[in-house]
Amino acid sequence: MPEKRTGGRSAAVLAQIRTAVEDLVRERGAERVTIPMVAERAGVNPTSIYRRWGDLPTMLNDIATYRLDPARPLPDTGELRADLVAWAGEIVEHYAKPVNAALLRGGAASAGETESDCLRNRRAEAVVLASRSGAPFAADDIVDLVVAPIIYRVIFLPWTLTDPGLAERCVDRLLATGRAA
């Protein structure tokens, strides 16, 4: 049995590295971060990082993936629109934090080969929400009409994220399209 060692010191090191990455990425932006830098901030030897991930983009992707809530409960008020608004609001709120936005941008740079875990999760959530209410629209519609506009703003127009009506507007457009179809 291949023994793997995920706990104890390794876990501690990993945690230190994670917070170091998050701090640095927030302070300087994903691309002005280097591995030795992270190592120093984390109080860890650079070698450990090189050996574990090999490469900075790889590491960033991994950290970014972890960052988003693995299995949080989805909103379930019984009313579809309210659920969707709450869900979209969570996404907006999450990426309104500069750390998460920076990590997303960093991840975007090396995305494109396989769908990043990051967004696959969102897609899955969308499917759950859609099917729960008898699926008046496809998961793709949710992605196109809610996720995409939000993520686009996060990456390219971050200062528009404070707009309080954003989530609602996206959801209403989605519902309108669902009705029309």
**Footprint of its own copies on this chain (CB under 8 A)?**
29-32, 56-57, 101-102, 105-106, 108-112, 115-116, 119, 143-145, 147-149, 151-153, 155-158, 169-170, 173, 176-177, 180
Cα dihedral across residues 3, 15, 37, 28: positive or negative: positive
Mark 11-50 with x for binding to DNA (rule: CB under 7 A) and - for no binding: --xx-------------------xxxx-----xxxxxx-x
Q: Give the Cα separation of 115 and 105 in Å (integer).
A: 15
CB nearer to its own copies: give 32 or 132.
32
Partner from its own copies, DNA, none contacting 44, C-beta within 5 to 8 A by type: DNA
Secondary structure, 3-state, 70-96: CCCCCCCCCCHHHHHHHHHHHHHHHHH
Least Å distance, CB 117 to its own copies, is 11
Cα dihedral across residues 79, 85, 86, 88: positive or negative: positive
Q: Output DSSP code: residue 55.
A: S
Mark 62-91 with x for binding to DNA (rule: CB under 7 A) and - for no binding: ------------------------------
- 138, 144, 145, 150: CA torsion to nearest 10: 140
By the rule CB under 7 A, 57 interacts with DNA: no
Q: Per CB under 7 A, which region of 8-16, 99-107, 112-120, 166-174 contacts DNA? A: 8-16
How many residues sit in the footprint of DNA (CB under 7 A)?
A: 28
Q: Output DSSP code: residue 29.
A: -
